[in-house]
Structures are given as C-alpha cells and as structure tokens.
C-alpha cells in the first residue's frame, strides 16, 4: 500500500465534506473526474467575498467595484501562471470546458474556418469536444474527421499523421480522456499539426487537476480548463488562447462590456480577453478558482502528479484481483482514474450497492458514447482520484465490489 506523502497528509481534514456520512458510512468519494470536493479555504473565500466584498467588475468607479475588479484580475494572473501563459490577457474566464469549446468552435467558424476545411477530433473525446463542432459544421461547411484509437485506448499516431493535410485547420482533443484515463502526447500531436498550419485545441478538463500544465512547452494554441474539477467552485473555468490567435477570433456572445463602441448599425469590440467575456461574469466563482489555484500551488503539482500515479498503480493491482473485472483503458500513460466492467453485472447495479456502502463512483457512458461503442460496452464503472484520495478508499471500493459480486451473481 502506498504511503501518503508529507505534503498531502493533512489534506483530507481540509475538506469539510468528509465529516459527513453517507447511508451511515464514512464517505469514500471516487468521482473527482466528474467534479471535485472543495477545501475549506475555497468555501471561506466565497463566503468572505459574498459577505464583505461583493461588487460587480469593470462597470463602476466606486470602491467595491474597483476592489472586485482587482480580485477578478488577480485570479486571471493566477490562472495564467497555472498554465504558464505568456500574459494574463491570454486567459478568458468562462463557465467551464463545455463553454470554452463552444466558444472556440463558434468563434473559429465565424472568423477562420472556410468551407471544405477539416477539424480533427479524437476517438476518445467527451461529448463536449464533439457536439460543438457538429453544431457549427453546417454553418461553416467544415468536415469532422476522427483520429482512431487502439484497444488499449491509445491514439493511433500513424493514422493521425496520415490524416494531416493543408485542409486540416483544427486538431481538437483531450489531454487526458475522462472515460479511459489515457494521457495523450499533446506536444507531439501539436508539432505535427503545426506542420500543416492547424490550430490545436486541448480539452484540459481531466489534466489540469493532476498534471503540471505548461502551454508554452506543449505549444498548443487553445487550452480549456474546468475549475470545478480542480477544487474550485462550480460555474467557473477558463480558456487559454495564444494572444495572436485570440486577436483573430470573432466574439462568441454579445452584450455588456465586451464592446468598444455600439451603434444600431454595427458595433466594434474590446481586445481579448474582454471581447469574449460578455455579460456579468461568474465573479465569486472566478475569485474562488483563484483560491483553488493557490491551494494546488501550495501542495505542488509535482507531488499531486506523483500521488496520482501511486494511487493508479495501487488501484490497478488491487482491482485486478477481482474475478471477472476487466479494465477499459489500459494505455501505457494514464492519469486520475480506473474504468472497468465486471462480467455478468450491470455497472448501475454495482454502483447502487457501492453507494449503500458510502462509496461514490460513476456508472454510465461518462459523456463519451463513442468510446463505449469502441469497446462494445453500454457503460463502465469509473473510480477517479483527487488529492484527498487515500489507499484505504480503494480497499473499501474493492470490498464493495466483492460484496456486489456475491449479491448479484
């Protein structure tokens, strides 16, 4: 059993939710890939902002507004440093990854894509990186092509290379697949895409909570991050964009302070990132996300990454011993989760039995129906880890799975 490292030893106590029970059992939370629990300091940051500091941003000359604006822009600096962006203006605050990819698809379709252009997505995408491209397909006259994967859940890089041509204008894929845990070789994929002049958009929903992200090293053009999966409040995330690209991109939504000048005949727009932040933004949530970034920095992303790998190895070994259990997603490079089926047992039935034992896991298609079709399964069970996950959680999961096997077989 791996030993919890010094930097994570008192972490669980910082999450108030673990003080509660579920069905009279201690909570074993193994659904961080869906959304993470929140540390007390993030909860306290929201409380303090709403009770002592609340005001709108960028819309008033009074003190509360100036202070809110300063806190909001400070969160932008933290987000920029979190992904190693060149400047804070490369960060656009949004509700999360779904909104970030919708923004990218609509904006690129309006400003850059031409009929006949191709957008490549991978076979292991979340619906959030498939459907937005389908929604703009007819408007923009583009084609969507799919980079295949093998049965371990790894992208076929030879096939990807063969698909690249001057027609490919966007390559959009996840850094870590939420249904398989695969870590994709983004640096290599980006270098190949740039060879044909394509823009690379990375869905970082599952990578940002576990890996150290460096957009300059990856050299990607757009990188979407979800705050609620990395210990921040729900309702806030961000899109990193290379500034020279953001400058070429049309607005996504209109209204509020995203404008330069408005006439009834036409309007002109602010520079990025404000051009993409129409309406009142999720102010408290963004400030809370800044606190979550500090929380992650204080632990250290290297320590988080190492603990994630230790948990992954332990869970893989522990669950392999369960008769009839098959892993779905066995890539060499993985992060954050194990997904599996058990012969003769429906994932939903197993998840209900686990829930009675206080164990929260996800059962379903994980918003990745094409992945389920690839592996010819209707659904899988997924146990995903966070900074508060301890090896005993995996032992409780394994015991619950044994119990489910006894009850259902």
Can you give the binding site for ligand PLP, defined by CB under 6 A?
Answer: 34, 96-98, 126, 128, 174, 178, 203, 205-206, 226, 237
In the complex with ligand PLP, which residue's Cβ is closer, 133 or 405?
133
In the complex with ligand PLP, which residue's Cβ is closer, 182 or 341?
182
DSSP string, 83-103: TT-SSGGGEEEESSHHHHHHH
Distance CA 409, CA 401 (A): 12
Is 156 catalytic? The answer is no
Helix (H) or strand (E) run with residue 320 in it: helix 301-320
Per annotation, catalytic residue among 65, 74, 156, 367 = 367
In the complex with ligand PLP, which residue's Cβ is closer, 164 or 205?
205
Distance CA 320, CA 343 (A): 13
Token pair 């990218």 in the structure block, residue: 104
**Shortest distance, CB of residue 197 to ligand PLP, whole angstroms?**
26
Residue sitting closest to ligand PLP (CB): 96
**Shortest distance, CB of residue 5 to ligand PLP, whole angstroms?**
26
Q: Which residues have C-beta within 8 Å of that of residue 97, sequence separation ≥ 6?
A: 126, 128, 203, 204, 205, 224, 225, 226, 237
Residue 51 is given by DSSP the state I
**Shortest distance, CB of residue 226 to ligand PLP, whole angstroms?**
3
Contact of 291 with 232, CB cutoff 8 Å: yes
In the complex with ligand PLP, which residue's Cβ is closer, 184 or 396?
184
Half-sphere exposure of 233 (CA within 13 A, CB side): 22
**Shortest distance, CB of residue 174 to ligand PLP, whole angstroms?**
5
In the complex with ligand PLP, which residue's Cβ is closer, 338 or 353?
338
**Shortest distance, CB of residue 265 to ligand PLP, whole angstroms?**
36
Distance CA 61, CA 55 (A): 11
Just list the catalytic residues.
Answer: 367
């Amino acid at each position: 059993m791996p030993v919890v490292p010094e930097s994570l030893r008192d972490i669980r106590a910082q999450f108030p939710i673990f003080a509660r029970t579920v069905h009279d059992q201690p909570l074993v939370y193994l659904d961080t890939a869906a959304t993470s629990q929140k540390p007390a300091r993030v909860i306290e940051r929201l409380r303090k902002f709403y009770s002592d500091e609340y005001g709108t941003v960028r819309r008033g000359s009074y003190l509360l507004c100036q202070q809110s604006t300063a806190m909001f822009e400070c969160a932008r600096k933290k987000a920029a440093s979190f992904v190693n962006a060149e400047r804070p203006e490369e960060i656009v605050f949004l509700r999360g990854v779904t909104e970030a990819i919708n923004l990218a698809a609509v904006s690129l379709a309006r400003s850059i894509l031409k009929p006949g252009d191709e957008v490549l997505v991978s076979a292991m995408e979340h619906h959030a990186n498939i459907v937005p491209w389908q929604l703009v397909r007819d408007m923009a006259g583009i084609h969507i092509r799919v980079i295949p994967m093998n049965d371990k859940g790894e992208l076929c890089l030879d096939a990807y290379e063969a698909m690249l041509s001057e027609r490919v204008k966007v390559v959009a894929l996840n850094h870590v697949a939420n249904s398989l845990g695969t870590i994709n070789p983004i640096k290599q994929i980006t270098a190949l895409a740039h060879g044909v002049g394509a823009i690379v958009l990375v869905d970082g929903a599952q990578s940002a909570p576990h890996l150290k992200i460096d957009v300059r090293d990856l050299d990607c053009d757009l990188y979407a991050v979800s705050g609620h999966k990395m210990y921040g409040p729900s309702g806030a995330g961000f899109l990193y964009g290379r500034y020279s690209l953001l400058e070429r991109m049309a607005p996504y939504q209109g209204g509020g302070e995203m404008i330069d000048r408005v006439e009834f005949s036409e309007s002109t727009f602010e520079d990025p990132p404000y051009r993409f932040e129409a309406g009142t933004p999720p102010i408290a949530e963004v400030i809370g996300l800044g606190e979550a970034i500090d929380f992650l920095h204080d632990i250290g992303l290297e320590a988080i990454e190492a603990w994630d790998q230790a948990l992954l190895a332990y869970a893989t070994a522990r669950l392999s011993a369960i008769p009839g259990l098959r892993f779905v997603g066995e890539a060499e490079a993985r992060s954050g989760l194990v997904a599996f089926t058990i012969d003769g047992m429906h994932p939903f039935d197993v998840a209900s039995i686990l829930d009675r034992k206080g164990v929260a896991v996800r059962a379903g298609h994980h918003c990745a129906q094409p992945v389920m079709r690839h592996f010819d399964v209707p659904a899988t069970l997924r146990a995903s880890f966070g900074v508060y996950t301890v090896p005993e959680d995996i032992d409780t999961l394994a015991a619950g799975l044994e119990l489910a096997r006894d009850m259902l077989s």
